[in-house]
Structure 1
Amino acid sequence: MPSYPGTRRTPPPQQHSRVVTANGNGRAVLPCAGHAEVPAEVAQHHVHTLAAGQCCSVLVKTIAAPVDVVWSLVRRFDHPQGYKAFIRTCRIVDGDGSTVGSVRELEVVSGLPAQNSRERLEILDDERRVISFRILSGEHRLANYRSVTTVHETATQDGPRAMVVESYVVDVPPGNTAEDTCIFANAIVGINHRTLASRARWNAGNATEESELDYN
């Protein structure tokens, strides 16, 4: 596992939260149907508490690039525009961008139903490759959005690949349905994943070429 400048080890991440519903005897823990396809050893980081009027989802992307290359992009709370296509600028306004509690302010590209977002880093664990953030405020449709992203190595018939799992919970805006809200959020996350895959493959290819040049 490579080390990253400015990283402080945080305590092992807890299960991020649980899916909870009310019943006659109190509170019951139920599985989230959207997480059904996530392997158990990965799902422990992707469990959310759903309040009334919220929805959750999870997206999985397999990338033909080394996990460390993918993680080096995903972990950059201070530079999400490195692969998130809809972010114009990012400014750290509290903390150093690599410790839990750091806060960033984002400006969004034009053409989206959003302008800016203020977000807090909740988890950054380089050993387990887990990052989590929550949206504090901003002009957008994703109120009370909390996201967890993990990067893992997975075996395929073409060899080892990076598997990115990203889950979230968010408020359903007034006048919208949970399905509409997840379709909107999933579309943004899906585009980010495709951009991440392209950037990671490009970075991995350049690293290979540089290594060959150094060797020769």
Structure 2
Amino acid sequence: MGRLILGVLREVNVKSGLPATTSTERLELLDDKEHILGIKIVGGDHRLKNYSSILTVHPDVSEGRSGTLVVESFVVDIPVGNTKEETCYFVRALINCNLKSLSDVSERMAICPHSDM
């Protein structure tokens, strides 16, 4: 995998069933040592405006099993015609979808650690 550069854009095809199919994200923060990722959504066919998020990953133990705790915080403007509750519902659904995808990829990597995903 190539080195990621701050400011690089990525195009995301949204497959969540939410009312969006594309999103353009810009990498704002990346700290491999501290396990921090920050992005800002700069385009797409959704109504998210001025959305940015910080994702952190921490080792965790739950019920005696080691695992990973992922924390994501975000800020977003409420679009005209939406309520705060509607906007938060949409973002939480999107985050849950992203976390499910991250979990699936992580589990596949644990089973086949040397394959390219």
- Fold-level similarity (TM above 0.5): yes
C-alpha RMSD of the superposition: 2.2
| Partner of residue 121 from structure 1, selected from 3, 27, 38 | 27
Quote the offset at 1:140 in angstroms.
Answer: 0.9
Quote the offset at 1:109 in angstroms.
Answer: 4.5
Distance 1:106 1:119 in 2: 8
Equivalent residues, number: 114
In structure 2, list runs of 5 or more residues that go unmatched: none
Distance 2:100 2:76 in 1: 22
Quote the offset at 1:110 in angstroms.
Answer: 9.0
Bigger Cα displacement from structure 2, 145-154 vs 186-195: 186-195
Report the counterpart of residue 160 of structure 1 in structure 2: 66
- Cα distance change on mapping 1:165 and 1:108 into 2, 3 Å: same
| Partner of residue 53 from structure 2, selected from 143, 147, 161 | 147
- Cα distance change on mapping 1:176 and 1:146 into 2, 3 Å: same
Question: What is the identity, as a one-letter code, of the residue corresponding to 2:100?
Answer: R
Secondary structure of 2:7 counterpart? coil
After superposition, the C-alpha distances for 1:12-39 in whole angstroms (9 at most, x for unaligned) are xxxxxxxxxxxxxxxxxxxxxxxxxxxx
Secondary structure of 1:128 counterpart? coil
Question: What is the identity, as a one-letter code, of the residue corresponding to 1:131?
Answer: L
Scaled by the length of structure 2, what TM-score is found? 0.82
Report the counterpart of residue 83 of structure 1 in structure 2: none
Contact 1:105 1:117 in 2 (8 A): yes
Question: What is the identity, as a one-letter code, of the residue corresponding to 1:120?
Answer: R
Distance 2:15 2:107 in 1: 24
Report the counterpart of residue 80 of structure 2 in structure 1: 174
Q: % of aligned pairs identical?
A: 41
Scaled by the length of structure 1, what TM-score is found? 0.47
Higher strand fraction (1 or 2)? 2
- Cα distance change on mapping 1:193 and 1:110 into 2, 3 Å: closer
> RCO higher in 1 or 2 (8 Å CA, sep ≥ 6)?
1
Quote the offset at 1:5 in angstroms.
Answer: 5.1
After superposition, the C-alpha distances for 1:128-163 in whole angstroms (9 at most, x for unaligned) are 010001012232111111011111101223232111
Report the counterpart of residue 37 of structure 2 in structure 1: 131
